[in-house]
Structure 1
Amino acid sequence: MLSFFRNFFKSKIGLAVALAFLGLIALAFASADVSSTGAFGGVAGGDRVAVVGDEKIGTADLIRSANNALDRVRQDDPTLSMEAFVAQDGLKQSLDALIDRFAIRGFAKKYGIRAGDNLVNSEIRMIPGFRGPDGNFSESVYRQALAQARITDAQAREDLGTGLLSQQLFVPATFGATVPDKLAYRYAQLFKERRQGAIALLPSASFAPTGAASDATLKAYYDANRGDFIRPERRVIRFATFDSSALGDRIEPTDAEIAARYERDRAQYGASETRDFTQLIVPTQAAANALRARVEGGASFAAVAQEAGLRAAPVVDASRESLASQASEAVAKAYFSAAQGAITQPARSPLGWHIARIDAVDAVPARTLAQVRGEIATALREEKRTKGLADLAIEIEDRLSDGATLAEVASELKLELTTTRPALADGRIYEAQETLPAVLAPALQTAFQMDEQEPEIAPLQGGETYLVYEVSRITPAATAPLAEIKPQVEASWRMAEGLKRAQAAADRVLKRLRGGATLSAALAAEETRLPPPERVDLTRQQLAAQRERRIPPPLALLFSMAQGTSKKLEAVQNIGFYVVDLENISMDDIADDDPLIAQAKTQLGPVIGDEYGEQLRTAMRIEMGVERNEDAIEAVRKQLLGES
């Protein structure tokens, strides 16, 4: 069971694994529809947003949960503001997730299901994101990850414990869910179902008013839809880069430094010799002498070894020092005193008696300081460049910490200071088809977390270059003033009004359809010229083949309607209304051994399991009892949005 949980957890990457796991329950239940069990008469005080059983959920819990949920969403949409998050029901989903977590803990406690400290500790140690460079659990990495996620150790353990309790409760309830064969047969038969009909779009633009809107009308629309006009947070970044060119001639090695390095590494530049040889090791000196005599008499070294039941082992690039340490000084002396092509005198080591054929001799003469001067200078120059850059970065960081401005540092080092245009957290320039310079990409996340006038320095390209930067201006996310976006508001108002009229027109078209008219005739009866309907003739199997692409909502509606019915459906982004007319449904029988039946059982099993899980969650909430404090929830909403 625990391996199941670990495998699920490990689906994240790097440190995100650890952080996402701490929010596992919030993610798992974010879409749950948790309703209260009655009025909030049992809750006193304004610091509790909900009560689950006897446990109280404080306003601080909800604020933290909402902020953490926003951070997770920003991993996919960095520009999302708290205002937009709340407008998209993010606060409600965060509260629902908290209620579910408290309900799980209360239910588990009531029925004696627990996750002990040892189990929690074991799970923490199994998390890859908490491991240090040696591959083992690191307390410092763990603490650092919690700090980045703004989570305490107690909160992390509580979340992890809740996840383990959830596993113990839900895995047995949902695992291995199956459906009866007859139900699978009926479901499989649906793949052969064919639906014929038509779909028409009534565009909002076709019904949008053409006259100018009054200021009062636009003001009323703007006030009612302020969440649609939120501008994301923008930041202006000033930055400069520097590399070894900023060090000037400080990286050039002196004659004294080159000479000192030569003296330090004199052994490296002295004469050296390595040898390639093929050797045999035998138990006795007599055997070694006999083998050597046969080879000197003209026999092949390999043949002699094979006849003796031995294998001649080749060795390449062996130095005298390595041979002495691996075998013995006697063996090294014998091997390095023989000429190339000769057979060595037998020599003893702890392994036995050695003889060898010297295959090659590679003698390197000693090199003088003049011969290696360029090599040493290059190595010293690289060392001084690396150290000099790191020292300069530390020096600049100290200067900035002492109060120096980025402009002063750039002037002293003769660096080119660049100021960006207002940018979004995802790197795009605000209201422009441009992006920030690529050099800022590694620092972008930090730049959108730091305060103004707090310069930072960061290495680039593995320390080859350094970036020093600051945020010179922050424009918080906020609803744009009406005066600045009046044309945008008016365009949105026109589409909204057009949508209302398109809905009314869709109702008229539906009425004509129910009176016996065709969809084409019902559309033609409208005073506004409308696009012709699109004919549809598809089977469910053909529809399922489109799973890699998103199935259009009106087509999905067509396959969920009853024969001979017509429905309307609002299109996304106020585009208009669809009218879907289903004319005919036909279905063919399938064989009892059709592979679709087995496929249906496989697909329906997890769906049934999910339903069991939903029912169990609902039962837990009902049994524990849930009450909400709407006043406290509203207070949290205002605090998150910065409202008074």
Structure 2
Amino acid sequence: MAEKKKNRYGVWIVVILILLGLAGFGTGGLSGSIRNIGTVGEKDVSVADYQRTLNTQIRALSAQFGAPISFQQAQAFGIDRAALQQIILTRTLDNEAAQLGISAGDENVFARLRQIPQFQGAGGSFNRESYRFVLEQEGQSEVEFENTLREEMARTLLQGAVVGGVPAAEAYAEALVQYIGEQRSVTWATVDAEALTSPVPGATESDQQAYYDANPEAFTLPEARNITYVWLTPNMIQDQMTVSDVEIEQLYNDRIAEFVQPERRLVERLVYFDAAQAEAAREKLEAGEVTFEDLVEERGLGLSDIDLGDVDQASLGDAGDAVFAANPGDVVGPFNSGLGPALFRMNAILSSQETTLEEATPALREELAADAAREVINDSTDQIIDLLAGGATMEDLAERTDMELGTISWTADMAEGIAAYEGFRQAAATVEEGTFAELNDLADRGVFALRLDSITPPTLQPLDDVREAVKDAWQVQARQDAVMAKTAEIADGIELLTGFETVGLEPVIEPNLTRRSFVEGTPPDFNDQIFEMSVGEVRVLDAENRAIIVRLDDIAPPDPTSETTIAQREQLAQNAAAGIAQDIFDAYATSLQERTDVNINQTTVNAVNAQFQ
């Protein structure tokens, strides 16, 4: 008995030691005793900075996809690694700025604080209470935020020092502007088979043989994979399913919101930090100083960011009565919302809609029958898999199950029947002769299995089998050759000052074309051709079933005084300078990282990541 008591006390001692150890580790989790994930040079890399960077990256990815992204999905895109690299680069620059003695003074920091909208009161001046409240919501102290701001300003100074000497790429921009903005003025006309003075004779046997020999790809059948398959889809057995009226009524009631919809509104909601800001915005709007779109832009948002879609009155809370009493285009508020005080714009009225049980019954019956058919197929898969494992052939499966047997000489361009399913096409393209047959899924939750019986390689069809197609193709080509020859004769009579009308053509005059211009009715290489021509030159272009005569009338440089040219030159110069500056800074940052000691505790990083899951 004494031995048992001794063992029991020993267990309690171990438990107490474990609890004390956990308490020493920090009951506040990673935000308690563990504050950093590592160091870069002499700078700590805080858990909070890594968390904020990771959150920002995940939100950006969610915005890109238009839907919330889970942490596991973000990890699949490497977002956690990108966030870690970003914070390491930031701290590398912070460390270098500190080593060089670059810093921002208190006056500059406070001046920057006054510019941040979230810290401003109703009059636009710095509000210390707003400042404290925002930082409290973010889990930061004033000292931490101001140090972060000071380091950010120092990084900006460092980056400016690195790339500040990059000259404007004026010569580069000018050359591009001259190339892009150079203009061509042309006259062109169309010539077709109506211009021919005699019919094109039919193809002789020697003509047919020559065309057939010169164009074998046009008469070659693609590779065909000869496949035997079995399949079963919900649609095949849906009519056999029994659906009761009780089930239909139950589904109708479960989804009553789909069939009985109250009156709704299309609404946009613009949220503000506090009621004073929202009220000030409403006053500016009522005074006509700004539009609603201006207010949205002031918040750094787009209309898509504030769109609530179609909503009912109850979902709008305090704003419901006012929004539903408003006319389309009216802005009401501010009213409290789940995100703070907000202005609401009502854009359209959606009338109430009701679909009766009787009206909904056919669609609901079909839906329930399809669900039942899918369930039957799902229940039968184990039996089918067992039969395949036992060596059953496609023919056996068709005989012993509800699956239907079929054969197909499959090619990549087929898209009918079972070949309309992507799952089947992928399997048909990769299956090999003699491989073990597997049960595969179809997009509509049907199933199939297949067997490759043989492969027919690409086959040139005998001339006698495709003679009519050869005749038709030869005739088309011969007619186009005749049109091109006739057009060349006409073009010989066109000179620089000659009117196209003198040779019986109706001209089209196209002035001031650039390389980006599109001229309807011309072949794809029209622009390439005219920018190769000299003034007065006439060319004949092949336009498939007709021909184009084009004459270059004038070449003009871009107008150096036009707003478009000036804007293009400035934009190109800025883009080029920015690109060069970015390349220089990237090279500098890479060199800096190579000579800066980086120590990251991967265990701590993993623990932070675990909190996101």
Tell me the TM-score range normalised by the shorter chain. Answer: 0.3 to 0.5
Q: Structure 2 length normalisation: TM-score?
A: 0.38
